[in-house]
Amino acid sequence: MKVCIVGAGAIGGFIGTRLAAAGRAEVSAVARGATLDALRRHGWRLRTASGLVQAPAHAEAAAAALGVQDLVVIAVKGPALTQVALGLAPLLGPHTLVLPAMNGVPWWFCEGVAGFAPGPLQSVDPGGVIAAAIPFEQVLGCVVHAATSTPEPGLVQHNFGQGLIVGEPRAGGSGKSARAQAVVDLLAHAGFEVTHSADVRQAIWYKLWGNMTMNPVSAITGATIDRVLGDPLVRAFCSAAMGEAAAIGARIGCRIDQTAEDRHAVTAKLGAFKTSMLQDVEATRPLELDAIVGAVHEIGQRLGMDTPHVGALLGLTRLFGRVRGLYPAG
């Protein structure tokens, strides 16, 4: 199987290194700048508790140099996806599968949802550019449960977790498929703990529900997770926003059975943990706000639902980002 990783950062590098080292796939990467240079010089590199995992890497700056793939794993930050999508065409043949391994609500999420007005989610796909570039019929849904970082370009540090959830993206739970199983088998052979989900949309919404408050609150306050949950007023605000997101989920076929306090208890076990959005602030990288909070707010608005706490969270974090040049001004 020919696999291309688009965005060889913390998650893309994690997946790419494991696949390349496992030897069952021909793995390449579309990368740029220092990451491209590092891949060409050192190959894939993943630092784990057991030592350094390395494998040769074929990395190019342009997709046209790699040609049609069997599987394209997209692991870029949300703000970069529109531009990246415009350059994917050389990788995509009629049978190519696209696996977005990204945070938050993906551009295709509300495709076919009963009662949801047609049209792209403007928060994550303005003008429908991504949907036009990546056919929905070739997409598989994916959820990543792993914490990784990049201490330097081209080197991934694995902190904990190696769970992946993969499945068909259609609303209503589209069941399992042979093509998704083939991807699951490939990833499992590479050492990931992979679940083949019959309803990957619910898995996506569940993860989002758990981190949509922790990420932005930690970003605007600079607090680690233990301090966010340790303040009763902040904790109550987060719980209220999660309640609104759970109500939206129930309307779009992604029911959440836990309470916010149930989830807080799970999150608290991470201790003094820095969220990915807080790490982005500290590194002065653009905020992945739209896919994590903006999409939730937009879906609620389009369903005519009142979401004051989600709206407040979006507005405060958006303003914080704009003041620091980490979020678009317009």
Enzyme catalytic residues: 207
Phi first, then psi: give them for residue 6, nearest 5 degrees: -105, 105
Do residues 314 and 294 make contact, with C-beta atoms less than 8 angstroms apart?
yes
CA angle 81, 186, 92 (to 5 degrees): 40
Do residues 255 and 248 make contact, with C-beta atoms less than 8 angstroms apart?
no
Helix segments in the chain, DSSP class H: 10-22, 33-42, 81-85, 129-133, 178-189, 200-211, 214-221, 225-230, 232-251, 260-268, 276-282, 289, 295-302, 308-323
Helix axes 232-251, 260-268, angle to 10 degrees: 120
Coil/strand/helix, residue 256: coil
170's tokens: 């259609």
Q: Which residue has the tokens 């994690």?
A: 14
